[in-house]
Amino acid sequence: MSDTVPGVAQPHALPSYLDVHHLGPWGIFLQQVDRVTPYLGNLARWVETLKRPKRILVVDVPIQMDDGTVAHFEGYRVQHNTSRGPGKGGVRYHQDVTLSEVMALAAWMSIKNAAVNVPFGGAKGGIRVDPKRLSLPELERLTRRYTSEIGLIIGPTKDIPAPDVNTNERVMAWMMDTYSMNVGETVTGVVTGKPISLGGSLGRHEATGRGVFTVGAEAARRIGLDVAGARVAVQGFGNVGGIAARLFAEAGARVVAVQDHAGCLYREAGLDIPALLRHVKATGSVAGFAEAEPLARDAFWDTPCDILIPAALEQQITEANAGRIQARLIIEGANGPTTPAADDILTERGVLVVPDVIANAGGVTVSYFEWVQDFSSFFWSEQEINERLVAVMKGALDAVWQVADDKGVTLRTATFIVACERILRARDLRGLYP
């Protein structure tokens, strides 16, 4: 640290799980912050703020299983930064969820929310659980107990959860109901991504995929790649990947390869995406879809394609496969799919990466619209929402593209520059003492 503000930037040793050498998503976020710091000018004196989450809550979530036994699950809610507004970010249910992962996901929310200039800080939550092994009543009990445990720190003006991997509108309805019962009144604005009949927003279900498509098509146009006829490969075929694939197919692209947790498919002529979506709805996975050839999982990364959309989990594009990717354009639907070392390889090879913190911001943008609609109890048409979403996404991409050109940096560094400046300027203006 070169510059110091009394009481702020003292070089205390970081706890081990906050250390840049700690491998995992949080370590990756710290490396990304280090890459942007030289571009932050005077605001760099506040950068330590980004390296320490504001608030971390780890909760024990005990529930009664259907067989009468009691099981304990570990849950998290991390508020990374609240300088620009209440915490905002999804809740993930997955067997591999860790604190490092939730910290990074919360931090990427801070960057993303600032990049598209919605008035939120960054937060994220999760439970280490394989939800596929729970019955529906067990899942409901888990969600309700978790919501009560994190109820201490969430709220419509404090921190507003939303869906992420393995959570959906139904889970959000349970969260909204539990929080409301605990505070004694109906509070629709405590979560977004709710069912429409409970204060949800039209267009939220599709928003992240629509945002991926919007910035993807715009980036393709800017590099002279025609979406009509382009070959697209998609990893992850859930809310984000499935909808992005559908929109690209509707725009005339050929979705040639798809991978999810259980299967991997290839079809040179392009997969029938509506039929594949029906298959996934019926069976839970792309595996076993008859109108395609099965593909070995690792071969997915060698697929001849023009556009690659990672839309599953973190750290999928690494030093091991970045050199094999054939796409000219990568649009990050997932959070954190590319490691910094892989980023460097892709840049070197001239592959354009539209980073997660802009590419998948469509979801939280429409979550912001949902939150505003809940507060005003006045609801907008789907057309209005989609038009505003497209305007926000194109405007944000345009701004970071300009910074990337001006400074000769990648789109990821450019997005971090724009976002960190907004966050740290807010931090600076707010000052230190209560």
Ligand X SMILES: O=C(O)CCC(=O)C(=O)O
Residue 393 contacts residue 215 (beta carbons within 8 Å): yes
Structure tokens at 49: 């703020």
Q: Using CA atoms, how far apart are residues 164 and 360, in angstroms rounded to an integer?
A: 12
- Is 121 one of the binding residues for ligand X (CB under 6 A)? no
What's the DSSP call for residue 73? E
Q: Using CA atoms, how far apart are residues 147 and 144, in angstroms rounded to an integer?
A: 5
Of 104, 162, 225, 317, the residue at the interface with ligand X (CB under 6 A) is 162
Query: Choosing among ligand NAI, ligand X, none, which partner's interface includes residue 235 (Cβ < 5 to 8 Å by kind)?
Result: ligand NAI
Catalytic residue among 51, 54, 124, 194: 124
Binding region for ligand NAI (CB under 6 A) out of 9-17, 35-43, 306-314, 412-420: 306-314
Nearer to ligand NAI (CB atom), residue 43 or residue 109: 109
- Is 178 one of the binding residues for ligand NAI (CB under 6 A)? no
Binding region for ligand X (CB under 6 A) out of 22-30, 61-69, 137-145, 361-369: 361-369
The angle at the Cα of 245, spanning 258 to 89, to the nearest 5 degrees, equals 100
Task: From residue 176, give the alpha-carbon distance in Å to each of 10, 56, 63, 255, 338.
Answer: 41, 21, 19, 37, 33
| Amino acid identity, position 270 | G
Query: Choosing among ligand X, ligand NAI, none, which partner's interface includes residue 192 (Cβ < 5 to 8 Å by kind)?
Result: ligand X
Binding region for ligand NAI (CB under 6 A) out of 57-65, 232-240, 387-395, 398-406: 232-240
Residue nearest to ligand X (CB): 90
Q: Using CA atoms, how far apart are residues 333 and 326, in angstroms rounded to an integer?
A: 18
Residue nearest to ligand NAI (CB): 238
Which residues in 204-223 contact ligand X (CB under 6 A)?
A: none
Other Cβ atoms within 10 Å of 96 Cβ, number: 11
Q: Strands across the sheet with 55-64, in order?
A: 55-64, 70-81, 122-128, 87-94, 159-163
- Is 192 one of the binding residues for ligand X (CB under 6 A)? yes
- Is 255 one of the binding residues for ligand X (CB under 6 A)? no
Nearest approach, Cβ of residue 4 and ligand NAI (Å)? 35
Cα-flanking dihedrals φ and ψ of residue 323, to 5°? -75, -15
Is 83 one of the annotated binding-site residues? Answer: no
Interface map 233-252 toward ligand NAI (x if CB under 6 A): --xxxxxxx-----------
Burial of residue 337 (CB within 10 Å: 0-12, 13-18, 19+) is buried
Query: Choosing among ligand NAI, ligand X, none, which partner's interface includes residue 248 (Cβ < 5 to 8 Å by kind)?
Result: none
- Is 335 one of the binding residues for ligand X (CB under 6 A)? yes
| Amino acid identity, position 286 | V
Q: Using CA atoms, how far apart are residues 286 and 269, in angstroms rounded to an integer?
A: 17
Is 132 one of the annotated binding-site residues? Answer: no
* DSSP string for residues in 246-297: HHHHHTT-EEEEEE-SS-EEE-TT---HHHHHHHHHHHSSSTT-TTSEE--G
Query: Choosing among ligand X, ligand NAI, none, which partner's interface includes residue 89 (Cβ < 5 to 8 Å by kind)?
Result: ligand X
Catalytic-residue membership of 124: yes
Of 90, 203, 336, 337, the residue at the interface with ligand X (CB under 6 A) is 90
Nearest approach, Cβ of residue 169 and ligand NAI (Å)? 11
Residues that bind ligand X (CB under 6 A): 88-90, 112, 162, 164, 192-193, 335, 360, 363-364, 367
Residues that bind ligand NAI (CB under 6 A): 163-166, 208, 235-241, 259-261, 311-313, 333-335, 360, 363
**Known catalytic residues?**
124
Cite the annotated binding site for substrate by residue number.
Answer: 88, 112, 367
Cite the annotated binding site for NAD(+) by residue number.
Answer: 208, 239
